[in-house]
């Protein structure tokens, strides 16, 4: 059985990928399955935590013993995180949040017009939830963890991102056509704001989740 080292703690985990609607039937999305976030939620519950899982478009059943909040867009995900954060000992942002959303939403399905070029899709920036909660720290000593999917210069980009976001830990994944998204296994390096670097070898997403909680527990003291 797992060590109950998160007993009495409340942790918030975001999972999945946001969908940013263009019209009632179309959206801009990403390939995140939510499996890593669900593994984080399950393992935290097994270690005794009260878990709030904020799930974006994962299509997976709710894990047992976890409070699940379903969201669709980045703006909805932000609202759910900000609502849960004041009471949280740790916030882990495993969700793939769209950096941009369409500037306009068409309330009717967008139609193709004969002999006319399509309208360009104009994007606006979404709020950066991880940077916001890292800067605000709704509770003293709260540990904030981010994820970063990088395709190249993984460690250098990860260090820069950790500083820019202001979180305590950043889990850096190398992604590519066949890596990470939808897979059962993952490999990563967890960078700490204290300069630490923890390599997690290729293995089940649960193993990476357990390492993240080990590092969080150490920081909670
Ligand atoms: O900047 P980038 O999207 O690579 O950062 C990834 C990390 O930031 C993830 O932890 C993700 O959940 C979070 N993020 C966020 N709000 C955004 C974009 C990303 O919280 N708008």
Question: Does residue 165 lie within any of the structural domains?
Answer: yes
- Whole-number Å distance, alpha carbon 114 to ligand 1 midpoint, is 39
Question: Is 186 a catalytic site residue?
Answer: no
For ligand 1, atom 21, name the residue with the nearest CA.
128
CATH number for 34: 3.40.50.10300
> What is the value of pTM for the model shown?
0.95
Q: Is residue 207 part of a domain?
A: yes
Q: What number does the ligand 1 atom closest to the CA of 129 have?
A: 20
Domain membership flag for residue 5: no
Mean pLDDT, all residues of the chain: 94
Is the confidence at residue 178, as pLDDT, over 90? no
Domain residue limits at 127: 10-107+119-220
In sequence order, what are the residues at sequence separation of 6 or more whose Cβ sits closer than 8 angstroms to the Cβ of residue 36?
Answer: 15, 94, 147, 186, 205, 208, 209
Q: Taking CB atoms and a 6 Å cutoff, what residues make up the pocket around ligand 1? A: 74, 93, 95, 97, 99, 126, 128-130, 146-148
ipTM of the prediction greater than 0.95, yes or no: yes
75, part of any domain: yes
The SS3 of residue 146 is strand
In a domain, 2, yes or no: no
How remote is the C-alpha of 174 from its chain's centroid? 15
Q: Is residue 1 part of a domain?
A: no
Those residues whose C-beta lies under 8 Å from the C-beta of residue 3, and which sit 6 or more positions away, are 47
Domain count, the chain: 1
Residue 143 lies in a domain: yes
């Amino acid at each position: 059985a797992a060590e109950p080292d998160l007993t009495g703690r409340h942790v918030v985990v975001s999972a999945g990928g946001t969908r940013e609607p263009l019209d009632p039937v179309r959206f801009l999305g990403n390939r995140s399955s939510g499996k890593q976030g669900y593994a984080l939620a399950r393992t935290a519950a097994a270690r005794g935590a009260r878990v709030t899982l904020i799930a974006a478009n994962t299509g997976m059943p709710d894990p047992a013993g976890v409070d699940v909040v379903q969201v669709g867009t980045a703006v909805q995900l932000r609202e759910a995180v900000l609502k849960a954060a004041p009471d949280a000992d740790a916030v882990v942002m495993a969700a793939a949040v769209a950096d941009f959303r369409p500037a306009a939403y068409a309330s009717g399905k967008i139609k193709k017009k004969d002999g006319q070029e399509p309208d360009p899709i104009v994007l606006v920036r979404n709020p950066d939830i991880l940077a916001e909660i890292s800067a605000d720290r709704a509770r003293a000593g709260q540990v904030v963890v981010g994820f970063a999917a990088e395709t190249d210069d993984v460690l250098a980009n990860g260090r820069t991102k950790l500083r820019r976001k202001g979180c305590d830990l950043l889990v850096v994944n190398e992604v590519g056509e066949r890596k990470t998204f939808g897979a059962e296994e993952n490999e990563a390096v967890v960078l700490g704001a204290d300069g630490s670097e923890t390599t997690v070898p290729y293995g089940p997403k649960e193993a990476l989740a357990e390492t993240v909680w080990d590092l969080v527990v150490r920081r909670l003291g």
